[in-house]
Amino acid sequence: MESHLPLATTRCGGVEFRWGERTYVMGILNLSPDSFSGDGVGDNIDAAIAKARRLVAEGADIIDIGGESTRPGSKPISADDELRRVMPVIESLAGKLSVPLSIDTYKSAVASRALEAGATMLNDQWGLKRDLHLAELAAEWGVPLILMSNQRDKGGYDARIQRDTAYYDNPIFEVISSLKISLEMALKSNVPWENIILDPGIGFGKTWQQDLEIIRRLGELRELGRPILIGPSRKSFIGRVLDLPVHDRLEGTAATVAIGIAHGADMVRVHDVQQMVRVCRMSDAVMRGSQIGH
C-alpha cells in the first residue's frame, strides 16, 4: 500500500476535494420506497429534485443518489428497476446544481448510464466485490470511486481474509483487510490513487458494538493512505445505544460525526445536512483550526 503518500486532491466534476482542509458533507438522496431511514421519495421525481436542491442550499458538498435500499433484510432489485428510479433524477439535476452528483450503486450497468447522464462519482457499497467493472468505469471516466467494507456476505473475495476470533475482538482488523483487497482491485484496474475514497461500512454486517469500536478506532484506517468517508447517519447502533427510533437519532448522529472527524473522517454521508454541516464546521474549528464558515 502507498500509505506514505499524501492524500492529494480529488477532482470530482467541477469541484476539488482538498483533503485535510475541512470535512466534506455528502447529502443522501434516497429514491427507494423502503429506505431504512424513512426518507425515500420513491417515484416522485419532483420531490426528489426539490430535496436535492434543498440539500445543496443547506450546505451539501455532493449529492449521493441511490435507487436501491440498503437496509438490513431488503431484497435486491434489478438493474432495470434501479435505472428507472435514478435516471430521471440524474438527468434532471446533472449540470444544474452547484455540487456534483454521486451514484450509489454496485451494478456497473447502472453506473455506466449514470455517468453518461452526468454523475461524477461512484459509491460502491460492495467495494468491487460484486462487480469489478465499476473500477473499469471509474478509470475510463476519470471519476472518484468510494470503496466500502461490507461484512453482510462472508463469501467471495472476503473469504481471503483469515477468519478467527481476532475479528470479534478487533473488528477494525477485518475492515482494514477488506478495504486493502478493494483498494488493490481498484489500482489493478487503473483507478488513480487520488480518486479512491474508503468507507469502513458502519452498519453493514457489523454488530452495534463493532460499529462503536470502528468509530472509536477510525484513525487506524489511516494506514491505507486514502481519505475516509463514514456514514453513521440514523443507523441502528445509535438506536441501540439511545433506545430511540430512526426519526429521533439526530443528536446521536451528531455525536458520531464529531467523534469520527476527531479520529480522521474526511467526508460524512448524512441525511440531516443542515445540522451536520454545523457539526462539521465546529469539529473542523477544533481539529483543523478552521475559523470561518465554508
- Can you tell me whether residue 201 is helix, strand or coil? coil
Q: Interior CA angle at 40 toward 72 and 17, to 5°? A: 90
Alpha carbon distances (Å) from 219 to 98, 200, 215, 263: 31, 11, 8, 5
Q: For residue 33, what is the DSSP state?
A: T
Distance CA 239, CA 208 (A): 9
Residues with catalytic roles: 235, 269
- Give the containing element (helix H, strand E) for 235: none
The residue ranges of DSSP E strands in 56-129, in sequence order, are 62-66, 101-104, 121-124
Q: Is 84 exposed, middle or buried (0-12, 13-18, 19+ CB in 10 A)?
A: middle
Q: Which three cell numbers stand for residue 93?
A: 439535476
Q: CB–CB of 47/279 below 8 Å?
A: no
